[in-house]
Structure 1
């Protein structure tokens, strides 16, 4: 008898594990009957998991920490038994700015300085969620170039699929988001990728599998089966010989709804090959959250939320 689950995702290439596990039958092999639910925003994902409308979801790596700490939302103890992707995002700037690929951020800093001298309005950039690796990557990229992200520019929040549209419309001048939405902006001729995540903070965790601690405790065998299916899917997605097939699969109308060519462009830098949820990664995220005034205190959340022991249990690793 199969176990029925409803899993949420936001249309991004780093949702690949959920989509591959569904389409390749890896969930079914583990006795899981899964419904995938494409969600419109990260806040929707967060709330639906917390209140049980979703059993688990593709979630922002820092979101599960914030939720457990009760910052930005009602407190809900979460666990992350699996890392779904790293290096899956980029900073894209409007072609109107005339800034080329610039991992150092110096060209942006020069532009900001000129606008300050002219007393021009601040440039507006968007990130996908306050508690997101994208927020911390964009801030780090700016800060290391001498730009104060809280004073020298204006930061707003927007869902990933809207970023290219907002850039084209002149509502924002840049963004940091997951792929393939950077590739979409480039293909439309409205954006230039200034820096990839791997050029700003290599190996920074991007997305995790998120479940409530209560659900994990009540459903250990189901969680183990879910982790096993997703680990198998991650290995398939990471294999170079599968990247073309992966792009075609993700491009489907129920998933990303984009051309395989654009999806393939967005997949070039994404790493699926490190699924163990490392508390060291959580500690890095908490350090960023402290740096930018979102949380205070020690790294206890890193130990209770990022759970390599659950990953090891599912795979039978001693």
Structure 2
């Protein structure tokens, strides 16, 4: 059967795990199945959510819990969604500011328990709770940060303040002192280390190995009206994801381009190849 639509606009947030969409366009996987695709770089997950919901985007890379949250009406917009495929497993890091890291190192081994000791010291001095960021309320990042902290005895409802910051803005917030740390998808964790602004305390591989991270999603209405087009998109993305795992050095060069991640190629090599202390299977496509 013929596709219902061949010209599509798909959204992504500048992260390494947007790779299957980037590769599908740049290496011709979309073209091979007869699709002409424009990729739209979006600033935040809220932007992705809203634009897919109103039809400004045909589909998008999404946080794994986001389609469920949209379907259930847990987010700002209630829209039935379909997540056709997983884009990757893992890929997140928890990064802490240098000043906090040094205090933790003095308190105990650098872990969530060490952070707990610092928090208790601040409480004794009457200081306000430290602020930490995740990328969206319904996200693997929020769950991972809470799991890591709670394993060290930290009450994430009372001992700290959690806020939402778009992934590409995390480093700026950390540098300005607006947050003490964050959980984010790569490369925005290891890049802060590269810039001398922080230290990685934990990775998603250590907190919850094999966990679903991003999906490709469309609205239920869009999927019902474009079944052949939807199948073609998924076919292209599956081929692109396979290419990503087999060509990681070239993948870093594609993602580094200004209209995608706009980051140094060698900064993307660390999370993709397992360098600079990161696990080799931090990101699995």
Give the alignment's TM-score, normalised by structure 1: 0.82
Residue pair 2:83, 2:216 contacting (<8 A) in 1 also? yes
Does the 8 A contact of 1:30 with 1:229 survive in 2? yes
CA distance in structure 2 between the partners assigned to 1:202 and 1:146 by the alignment: 21
Say yes or no: does 1:266 pair with 2:278.
no
Question: 1:121: which partner in 2?
Answer: 128
1:147-158, aligned counterparts within 5 Å?
Answer: 147-158=154-165
User: Contact 2:50–2:77 (CA<8 Å) still a contact in 1?
Assistant: no
| Number of the residue aligned with 1:14 | 17
CA distance in 2, matches of 1:271, 1:163: 19
Instruction: Tell me by how many angstroms 1:124 deviates.
Output: 0.6
The equivalent of 2:72 in structure 1 is 69
Match of residue 141 from structure 2: 134
- Counterpart CA distance in 2 for 1:209 and 1:248 is 23
What per-residue deviation string (whole Å, max 9, x for no partner) do you get for residues 191-221 of structure 1? 1000001111111211100100111111111
What is the CA–CA distance in structure 1 between the aligned matches of 2:251 and 2:77, rounded to whole Å?
36
Out of 82, 88, 92, the position equivalent to 1:85 is 88
Shift in Å at residue 104 of structure 1?
4.7
Structure 1 residue 73: Cα displacement: 1.5
Alpha-carbon distance change, 103 to 20 in structure 1, aligned in 2, over 3 angstroms:
farther
Deviations 1:101-127 (A, max 9, x none): x78511111111211222222111000
CA positional deviation for 1:49: 0.4
Instruction: Give runs of ≥4 in structure 1 deviating > 6 Å.
Output: none
Match of 2:180 among 154, 173, 176: 173
Aligned residues: 271
1:234, 1:272 within 8 Å by CA — same for their partners in 2?
A: no
What is the SS of the residue equivalent to 1:181? Answer: coil
Mapped to 2, the partners of 1:258 and 1:183 lie a distance apart of 12
Structure 1: gaps spanning 5 or more residues: 274-318
**Aligned-pair CA distance for 1:271:** 3.1
Tell me how far apart the structure 1 counterparts of residues 179 and 22 of structure 2 sit (CA, whole Å): 31
The answer on 1:38 being equivalent to 2:8 is no
Paired position in structure 2 for 1:248 = 253
In 1, Cα distance between equivalents of 2:238 and 2:11: 17
Alignment correspondent of 2:223: 216
Pairwise mapping of residues 88-103 of structure 1 onto structure 2 (< 5 A)?
A: 88-97=91-100, 98=102, 99=104
* 112, 118, 132: which one aligns with 2:119: 112
Kept in 2, the 8 Å contact 1:6–1:35? The answer is: yes
Give the gaps of 5 or more residues in structure 2. Answer: 275-280
Relative to structure 1, the CA distance from residue 225 to residue 103 in structure 2 (aligned partners, 3 Å threshold; closer, same or farther) is farther
1:143-201 deviations in Å (ceiling 9; x for gaps):
11110111000111110011111111111000001111002211111110000011111
Whole-angstrom CA distance in 1 between matches of 2:110 and 2:266: 25
TM-score (norm: length of structure 2) = 0.92
Distance 2:9 2:123 in 1: 49
**CA–CA distance in 2 between the matches of 1:258 and 1:212?**
31
Matches within 5 A, 1:297-308: none
Q: What is the root-mean-square deviation of aligned Cα atoms in Å?
A: 1.6
For 1:28 and 1:103, locate their aligned partners in 2 and report how far apart those are by CA, in whole Å: 48
Contact 1:109 1:146 survives alignment (8 Å): yes
The 8 Å contact of residues 204 and 282 in structure 2, kept in 1 or not, is answered as no
